[in-house]
Structure formats: structure tokens, C-alpha cells
Amino acid sequence: MSSNLLELKDLCFAWPGSTEDCLNIAELHVRPGETIFLHGPSGCGKSTLLSLLAGVIVPQAGYVALLDTHWGDLRPAARDRHRVDHVGYIFQQFNLLPYLTALDNVLLPCRFSAKRRDAAVRHAGNLRAAAEHWLTGMGLNAQVWNRPAHTLSVGQQQRVAAASALMGEPDLIIADEPTSALDEDRREAFLDLLLPACTTTESALVLISHDRRIAKRFSRQISLPAINRVTFDGEVIV
């Protein structure tokens, strides 16, 4: 059994219809509880790599394994179960259900994962108390909890998305450009909430951004262009 939480080996990925790989990475690992800042310019493949790490897509060659389980060895439904049990995902556009309340959006992962549901109850006594704990931890007061997500500000939606990702203490938090829409003060305030929360849950964090100003706050920094063996000659890759 590996001591790493997440391992990537000899990965090659090309989008359907393309004759060229957009990612070719020899090796990458994430240790339990560490925080990784993955950076690179817009269009270098950062979001694609996150989707591969989370098993949303699988490579044509090589493998990505989470907790010693290779994503490519699982059928789609099994990948979904493994992901919801072990991964909290903060999307760039937050992906909240707009007509659910903030509280119900935070509860949502526990509707699909018995593992995270049991962890939330063990932590707080019941699911509602666990959701309220993370909403409070993200700096959202009770006046916000019962408002539909579509009525919240961008900053509030971002923090609801983070609370949802942390619900049930998943092993890995993946964050796709979560601070891109925030000004400097709000960006730093969000990281002041997210990083200690990951420490509390002992969750590893992989956060991608092109903003190198926040890199020093993470335990490890990785440049995607430095580890990707593909050269693009100016071509934009998603």
C-alpha cells in the first residue's frame, strides 16, 4: 500500500478528436494532509489535470490512483461513488444548485455518500449541526443559511461551495481557481478560512491558480508547465 493519498504515473491525455496530447506527465503525488499550489498560465491544462486527479475523466495512458484505487479501473458509477466518498470539489463557478438553500447545498454530499454522512454525524452529532458548523467556519451567519444559493453574492457562494466540499471530512479537497473572482482582501480572507479548515479535517488540498501571490501559503508549489512534457507552440489548452 502506498503512503501517498494520490498518485499519478506516466499519464497521457488527449481530448477526443485531437491527435496531440495536452498533458504528458511522468509522475505526481499528493501526501495525506499536504497543501499544494498548482500554478501555470491560463490555458495550460490546469483544470484538465484537476479533472483527471478527481476521476471525472481518465487518461488514455498511465494512471491516476486515489487511495490505491486506479480511476481507470472503475466503471463510471463506481468512479462517482469513490469520488463523492473521498473528494470535495470546489469548482471555479461553484456549481451550487441555485434554488436550494445554502444549508441544503452543504448537506448535499451526504445525500450521496454514507461515508461522509457518518463522518459528519460523528463530528457534530447530526447532519444539520455539521452543516451549520462548516457554514459558520466559512464566516457565514445564520441569516444566510436559508437563502437560495442564487440570491447570494459571489463571495458568499464561494464560501458555501467550500463548506459543501469540507462536509463529511473528505480525504482530498480540489479547488479550481476559487479566488479568481475575488479582490485581494477577499482572496486572503477566503484562504484564511479554507487552509485551517483543511488542517482541521486533515484533508489534503490541491488548489490551482495563475495568481502566484498566494503560493507562499501552501506547503508545496508545482508548476504545471514544468512537469508537463507537452509543448504547445502557443496553442491554448483548456
Query: What residues contact 145, with CB distance under 8 A and at least 6 apart?
Result: 101, 102, 103, 132, 135
Residue spans per domain, the chain = 6-227
Percent of the chain whose pLDDT exceeds 70: 96
Predicted confidence at residue 222, as pLDDT, reads: 96
Predicted confidence at residue 237, as pLDDT, reads: 43
| Domain made up of 6-227: CATH architecture | 3-Layer(aba) Sandwich (3.40)
pLDDT above 60 for 49: yes
| Average pLDDT over all residues of the chain | 93
The whole model's pTM is what? Answer: 0.92
Handedness of CA 19, 22, 24, 28 (dihedral sign): negative
Predicted confidence at residue 181, as pLDDT, reads: 75
Tell me if 160 sits within 8 A of 149, measured CB to CB: yes
In what helix (H) or strand (E) does residue 205 lie, and over which residues does it extend?
Answer: strand 204-209
Predicted confidence at residue 236, as pLDDT, reads: 40
Which three three-digit cell numbers place residue 174?
Answer: 480540489
Tell me if 108 sits within 8 A of 166, measured CB to CB: no
Nearest to 84 by CA among 149, 171, 160: 171
Confidence band, pLDDT 50/70/90 cuts, at residue 84: very high
pLDDT above 50 for 238: no
* pLDDT (tens digit per residue) in 137-176: 999 999 999 999 999 998 899 999 999 999 999 999 999 9
Predicted confidence at residue 233, as pLDDT, reads: 52
pLDDT above 60 for 232: no
Query: What residues contact 140, with CB distance under 8 A and at least 6 apart?
Result: 102, 156, 159, 160, 163
Predicted confidence at residue 234, as pLDDT, reads: 42
